Structure 1
Amino acid sequence: MRRAWERELGSGGWIGLGWDRRQGAYGNRAGSLTQQVVWAEEYARAGAPGRVGHIGENLLAPTLIAYGDQAQRKRFLPAVARGEELWCQGYSEPEAGSDLAGLRTVAVRDGGGYRVSGQKVWTSLAMEADWCFVLARTDPGERRHRGLSFLLVPMDQPGRIEVRPIRQMSGTAEFNEVFFDGAVARAEHVVGGEGAGWRVAMGLLALERGVSTLVQQIGFAAELGVVVGAALRSGAVRDPVLREQLVRQWGELKVMRWNALRTLGAGDDAGAPSVAKLLWGGWHQRLGELAMRVRGAAAVVGPADWSAAAPYELDALQRLFLFTRADTIYGGSDEIQRNIIAERVLGLPRAERCR
């Protein structure tokens, strides 16, 4: 159903409003920044389905527009705009999460392409994706961020790519491990050229905090409303300390919105993505804690009809709490974000890193 919805959006030109000012350049509508914000916020307020095309539309496509060549844009952007091809992101590894430069996945040149071998982890949508953009080492003689390349790899390679869902405490499995065993990537599908992977990968990460940040905040506001409702029903709102915490959450959410609007109109700001991640990661985690606190002892109790035959199931606030435990880690840990701000914005000495 989600894939069908992507195709429905694509048929109306609603995917990729911000890619290009030329109407229909890749099968998408052209939209100003203001129009993009209006569309994204109204989509979220309407409670429309969660997007499975987010990674292709909001991460891959702007990256190809900025760093790819015309052949790559012509091949991949129309398919994303039509909602026909889904993407996943091959960055994190078991030994290289926030320290992305320490990755071990390699891509060895083989005739007209590359053979990719290694393991990626926490890969959203890997089970559904048609393609994966993979950061891999193409020059074994280099270390850290040098010698990396950004490759576009088709996922339909039985025997060469294996996807294993990761079951979480919440009972869901939206994240996956992906194992590459000689998977094939074509030479013309290296974005930015061989060895330019780090530059392309960092450019892509900066795109994660754009218009989608405002959309995320619409969802946060809805979750806060649910938590406040639970506090009213349980009577916990009569506790002045807890009431003050709820009001603080509301005020901080307003500040995050104003900060997001300010940075959208400010142009290039090296620290803006990291500031945004620090703000919402901690805020959402505190909301998850409040979701448990307002319900008291009932927060740790499962449904009354649980039995040995019933499936493992949590309610919305329990899932919120468990999921938000990871908010300050995924997408770049708080420690990494603070290092970026310190080094790239404040000009402080670089932190020592293990080699």
Structure 2
Amino acid sequence: MSLPKQHKVLYLLSKGGALAVQTVDVPSPGPDDVLLKVEAAALNPLDWKIQDAGLFTTAFPTILGWDAAGVVVAVGSKVDRLKVGDRVFVEAHVADSTRTFQQYVATPADFVAKIPDSLSFDEAATLPVSVTTALAGLYNPHEASKSVHLTPPWAQGGSGKYAGKPAVVLGGTSAVGQAVIQFLKLSGFSPIITTASLRNTAFVQSFGATHVVDRTLPRAELVQTIQKIAGGPIDLVYDAISVYETKDLGYEIVSSGGSLIILIPEHADNHKFPSTKDVRVIEAFGEFSVPENREFGAEATVEIEKLLQDGLIKPGIPEVLEGGLNAVQEGLDRIKADKVSGKKLVVHPQETL
């Protein structure tokens, strides 16, 4: 397969700065990597938070983008699970060469999952960050991982293991919330209670939520309603939004001795939890390339393929923005303004002019 020597990349020039498309050399895959032609890349709230505040980022210029779906166009010498022509999806990692707001990415093959024929590139691009974040926070068994250490549903005895145990997901219409709900269902949790706009009730129920509570209720009423539905101690709350308000709500809902999973660490936003009860706060980190996630990540990548193939998990709903990489800023502005609900914005890097 003939490959171009150069490609288009969307750079964030500085913290609080502009995005700019530039032409640079196509990255080369290492022996354990694959090179992907990115057909669809999804936008995440993390992208605008990096642009605005430099969240988790110290060096600029940098490349944003964490979700990609595309085609394998080259494989490293040690890669045997994937081949040129495979349709795949992947989450980006620390290195800019893996970030997805560009036309080609070089990324570790261990964490690249094949797309079933039933899914489009746009649908597959909604999956990587949401699925890896859900899985890492719930199931990673590594003692150093940021996880509840539940038994995965694909492991022996894992499917349905937690039947009868309530769980709460704050932000069920978010991409991460959708993924968490699906895995909680596979693990047997019930009831699965989520907060959302009531207009999205049927939507979040389609992923496995058993109860949908109006997210606009006054705080005290919201807590009371959730606790009444649970009918007993709530040992697991997953905050898929993780702003100050939802973090505090999750802490209030979870029972003493339970676990609250959040996405944004306290040191990153200066939020502080009270110490009024014994709650294990877990800062989920879905990047499979870090040492404590690598073994689980490689295992989970293979299992994700099977779950998708069998229809046991499904993607979110993509909304495609026209204009390739040039449309990213428009999309980030919409996400920041809370003007996206129940969908994941996607761009096609190959359409960039």
Q: TM-score, normalised by structure 2?
A: 0.27
Q: TM-score, normalised by structure 1?
A: 0.27
> Larger Rg: 1 or 2?
1
Q: Which has the higher contact order (CA 8 A, sep 6+)?
A: 2
Name the structure with the higher strand share.
2
